Amino acid sequence: MKTSLTLASLIAVVLAAPAFAQNTAPTKDPAATPGIDKRQAEQQKRIDQGVKSGELTTKEAARLEKGQDRIQKMEDKAKADGKVTAKERERIHKAQDKQSGQIYKEKHDRQRDKDHNGKNDRHENRGKHKGQNKQ
């Protein structure tokens, strides 16, 4: 008798535990955008790395920073009413996709600023053709 009562109590506790866990779960914030924030941070890292390596000139980096700021303003505007709708998220994701493509394009356009002086190193020898350097 004692065993069956203990077993019944154990079963009742096991079955009731999920119900208690559901009640204590945090509610999801409709204005939360962790995926967008994470991607913004990753894209910012790509820009910073491009400047550090010389793959991006200061002008290119400034233009890309302006794009990042534009996306941040889109996100802030979407959050202003306390809820980011699916349509707003899609619009921000598309803007991030476009920005990502711009970052790639600028980093791989063969313009370089390896000495980090703000000038495009690629065009140092512009106008000089074979044989023109000889005196």
CA distance 38 to 5: 52
pLDDT at site 78 = 96
Tokens of 56: 């991006």
Cβ contacts of 115 within 8 Å, gap of 6 or more? 54, 121
CA distance 15 to 36: 38
For 59-90, the pLDDT digits (tens) are 999 999 999 999 999 999 999 999 999 999 99
Q: 49: how many CB neighbours lie within 10 A of its CB?
A: 13
pLDDT at site 46 = 97
For 79-129, the pLDDT digits (tens) are 999 999 999 999 999 999 999 999 999 999 877 766 666 666 665 555 555
Please check whether residue 65 is in contact with residue 47, taking contact to mean a CB–CB distance below 8 angstroms.
yes
Q: Supply the pTM of this predicted model.
A: 0.65
Mean pLDDT along residues 17-39: 72
What is the residue extent of each domain of the chain?
59-109
